[in-house]
Amino acid sequence: MKYVVLIYGNPESRAAWAGMSDEQRAAGLAHYQQLNDDLDASGERVVSERLAYPELTKQVRAGEGGVLTTDGPFAEAKEFLAGFYLLDCESLERATEIAGRVPEASFGVVEVRPVMGLR
Amino acid sequence: MIPDLLRSLTPQVVTALVRRYGDFDACEDAVQEALLAASQQWPSAMPDNPKGWLITTASRRRIEQLRSETARQRREAAVALAEPPDPAPVAVDDTLTLLLLCCHPSLSRPSQVALTLRAVGGLTTAEIARAFLVPEATIGQRISRAKRSLRGERFVASGSPDRVLEVLYLIFTEGHTASSGDAVNRVELTTEAIRLTRQLRASLPEDGEVTGLLALMLLTDARRPARVSPSGELVPLASQDRSLWNREFIAEGTALITGALSSSPVGPYQLQAAIAAVHDEAASTETTDWAQILTLYDLLRVVAPGPMVTVNRVVALAQVAGPEAGLAELAAAASDPALAAHHRVDAVRAHLLELSGDVAGARQAYLAAAERTLSVPEQGYLRSRAAALAEA
């Protein structure tokens, strides 16, 4: 079964990250690296990515007048997608167990969602 | 058919090599390479003794592997840990031992599935990855990790075959109802599961549950030609064109389950097969022996209780005692947390509300079920039921 783990940031977690020393940040990223290595070894990680901050977002709307692209949302956005994992694992229980190892889970902003196909 | 021949010979070649050399990990890799060589060379030059050719080629590959530098270091580490090779004769074909090893309790369920399909089923990593819609690297890692955790395991049949049955049934259901993704049937996986279960039954002909599982697969797969309409929509059992069902599979499955029930202690796979046989024998939903199905579900609830057994029993109960009786039972079942948000509960509720004449309630329940299922074809079916009620 495939599940997506959605990792959200918020102003508090962003401030916490900004306030960290280089060593603390390196430790945080090493945590993610370790999680990736473990999930690769078990064959449960299909892909995972860390996303740039919301200021670099482009919003796209397609309408009558063609495709319209605008900047945003901005940093004051309450919650923003900070990264994701696509897992292929045994069960929802296992997916939530993995999500619990994501460092952001201690800020309480990690979601697990089952994946559906298109057809 | 060369691919079929290769797949059917795989477990015999793997066990022959493991009996001779003892290291499952390296032997299994060597067999994969020999299978690949065979699929390239046999179309133009078929050997007189295909199994002998594979064993010889795989043995050579394994020796070459161990000559290479990195492999030698690996082997030195492995030899320090490994038990001496089993002195049993090379002629032994022990598919059961191989299946038990691939379904070892120390492995996660996805690893057991991948390793079984490759080492016993003879499928390539790429074929397994395609069947499960995941990248090849993911399956490759799963298999190599599984083999690493099995290092030092002795190649002897140990433990109950129950876990093998679970893995084979999982492979079958994955193919039968793509739980998520873009196809109702992945022909290969149901076919592979049936083939592997036949091999297991050849090793354990007296085991009623092994026979029950094979019967269940045949009796379920028999309906495959009628499960999907020409336009790709899911067709529920009640509306299927039963003339399309595979009579050969029904005859074989019925004979298997009849024999097993009369000669073995009853178990969950036999009961499920018996239920499937009652459905397959009936000319229509109306002429189905629902009382017998209900009795079988009552037994199943004792032998192997579970949320899906509870829900499926409700369907049979409603056929016997009316939709209101079914709805009352379903309301009680839905208090189980495992069922609270399950789309099957909504789908069955919708069906029973429709039978009882509550069109608005049925429509709502069909839509709720459609929003909760992960199967796209099933979602389409549930929405079409809701739409049909809106027009009524």
| B6 vs B82, higher pLDDT | B6
Q: What would the pLDDT profile of B283-336 be if each residue is shown by its tens digit? A: 999 999 999 999 999 999 999 999 999 999 999 999 999 999 999 999 999 888
**Region B55-74 average pLDDT:** 82
Give the A:B interface size as CB pairs under 8 Å: 57
Asked if residue A76 has pLDDT above 70, the reply is: no
**Is B110–A118 a contact, with Cβ atoms under 8 angstroms apart?**
no
Strands A2-9 and A110-114: antiparallel
**Region A107-113 average pLDDT:** 88
Asked if residue B143 has pLDDT above 50, the reply is: yes
Q: How near does any CA of chain A get to the CA of B139, in Å?
A: 6
Q: What would the pLDDT profile of B117-136 be if each residue is shown by its tens digit? A: 999 999 999 889 888 888 89
**Is B110–A89 a contact, with Cβ atoms under 8 angstroms apart?**
yes
Asked if residue B87 has pLDDT above 50, the reply is: no
Q: pLDDT-derived band of residue B205, with 50, 70 and 90 as boundaries?
A: very high
The beta strand positions in B262-310, using DSSP E, are: none
Q: What is the percentage of chain B residues whose pLDDT exceeds 90?
A: 72
Tokens of B59: 């043995």
| B53 vs B22, higher pLDDT | B53
Tokens of B200: 């297991």
**Is A43–B142 a contact, with Cβ atoms under 8 angstroms apart?**
yes
Asked if residue B13 has pLDDT above 50, the reply is: yes
Q: How near does any CA of chain A get to the CA of B105, in Å?
A: 14
Q: Which residues of B touch A116 (CB under 8 A)?
A: 180, 374, 376
Least CB-CB distance to A40: which of B141, B183, B376? B141
Q: What would the pLDDT profile of A7-38 be if each residue is shown by its tens digit? A: 999 888 888 889 999 999 999 899 999 999 99
Among chain A residues, the shortest Cα distance to B373 is held by: A116
Residue with tokens 């309630």: B361
Asked if residue B34 has pLDDT above 50, the reply is: yes
Distance CA(B214)–CA(B206), nearest Å, equals 13
Q: pLDDT-derived band of residue B78, with 50, 70 and 90 as boundaries?
A: low
Cβ atoms of B219 and B245 closer than 8 Å: no
Residue A88 pLDDT: 94
Numbered residues of chain B with Cβ closer than 8 Å to any chain A Cβ: 108-111, 114, 132-135, 138-143, 145, 178-183, 374, 376
Least CB-CB distance to B376: which of A89, A94, A119? A119
Q: What would the pLDDT profile of B280-295 be if each residue is shown by its tens digit? A: 999 999 999 999 999 9
Q: Which residues of B touch A41 (CB under 8 A)?
A: 141, 145
Predicted TM-score (pTM) of the model is 0.86
Q: Which residues of B touch A118 (CB under 8 A)?
A: 182, 376
**Is A41–B180 a contact, with Cβ atoms under 8 angstroms apart?**
no
**Region B363-391 average pLDDT:** 92
**Region B86-103 average pLDDT:** 72
Asked if residue A109 has pLDDT above 60, the reply is: yes
Asked if residue B169 has pLDDT above 90, the reply is: yes
Distance CA(B125)–CA(B30), nearest Å, equals 14
**Is A43–B141 a contact, with Cβ atoms under 8 angstroms apart?**
yes
Distance CA(A114)–CA(B371), nearest Å, equals 12
Q: pLDDT-derived band of residue B377, with 50, 70 and 90 as boundaries?
A: confident
Query: Residue A70 pairs with which residues in a beta bridge?
Result: A59
**Region B26-35 average pLDDT:** 95
Distance CA(B276)–CA(B296), nearest Å, equals 10
Task: Report which of B375, B383, B177, B387 is spatially closest to residue A119, judged by C-alpha positions.
Answer: B375
Q: Which helix (H) or strand (E) holds B90?
A: none
What is the rounded average pLDDT for all residues in chain B? 89
Q: How near does any CA of chain B get to the CA of A4, in Å?
A: 13
Residue with tokens 């064959």: A43
Cβ atoms of A53 and A76 closer than 8 Å: no
Residue B72 pLDDT: 62
Q: Is A107 exposed, middle or buried (0-12, 13-18, 19+ CB in 10 A)?
A: middle
Among chain B residues, the shortest Cα distance to A117 is held by: B181
A111: phi then psi, degrees, rounded to nearest 5: -120, 150
Asked if residue B90 has pLDDT above 60, the reply is: no
Asked if residue B85 has pLDDT above 70, the reply is: no
Residue A45 pLDDT: 94
Q: pLDDT-derived band of residue A107, with 50, 70 and 90 as boundaries?
A: confident
Asked if residue B91 has pLDDT above 60, the reply is: no
Q: pLDDT-derived band of residue B82, with 50, 70 and 90 as boundaries?
A: low
The beta strand positions in chain A, using DSSP E, are: 2-9, 45-50, 58-63, 66-71, 80-88, 110-114
Tokens of B332: 């009680």
- Count CB-CB contacts under 10 A for residue A70: 10
Distance CA(B369)–CA(B371), nearest Å, equals 5
Least CB-CB distance to A118: which of B134, B143, B182? B182
**Region B174-182 average pLDDT:** 60
Residue B89 pLDDT: 45
Distance CA(B183)–CA(B188), nearest Å, equals 12
C-alpha distances in Å from residue B226, one per residue of A92, B96, B243, B244, B254: 31, 34, 8, 6, 19
Tokens of B39: 């699929």
- Count CB-CB contacts under 10 A for residue B330: 23
**Is B110–A44 a contact, with Cβ atoms under 8 angstroms apart?**
yes
**Is B182–A117 a contact, with Cβ atoms under 8 angstroms apart?**
yes
Rg for chain A, CA atoms, rounded: 16
Q: Which residues of B touch A90 (CB under 8 A)?
A: 108-110
DSSP-based three-state secondary structure for A88 = strand
**Region B231-254 average pLDDT:** 94
**Region B334-342 average pLDDT:** 85
A75-89, B29-43, B53-67, B191-205: segment of lowest average pLDDT? A75-89
Please state the separation of Cα B198 from the chain's center in Å.
12
Numbered residues of chain A with Cβ closer than 8 Å to any chain B Cβ: 1-2, 40-46, 88-90, 94, 114-119
Q: Which residues contact B165 (CB under 8 A, 6 or more apart)?
A: B200, B209, B210, B213, B269
Q: How near does any CA of chain A get to the CA of B111, in Å?
A: 8
For chain B, the residue count is 392
Name the DSSP letter for residue A103. G
Least CB-CB distance to A43: which of B139, B182, B183? B139
Asked if residue B193 has pLDDT above 70, the reply is: yes
Q: Which residues of A touch B181 (CB under 8 A)?
A: 117
**Is A46–B108 a contact, with Cβ atoms under 8 angstroms apart?**
no
Residue B69 pLDDT: 54
Asked if residue B65 has pLDDT above 90, the reply is: no
Asked if residue B182 has pLDDT above 50, the reply is: no
Q: pLDDT-derived band of residue B93, with 50, 70 and 90 as boundaries?
A: low
**Buried b / exposed e across B281-308, counting CB within 10 Å, b at 16+?**
ebeeeeebebebbbbbbebbeeeeeebe
Asked if residue B183 has pLDDT above 60, the reply is: no
Least CB-CB distance to A46: which of B108, B114, B138? B138
Distance CA(B379)–CA(B347), nearest Å, equals 10
Q: What is the percentage of chain B residues whose pLDDT exceeds 70?
A: 91
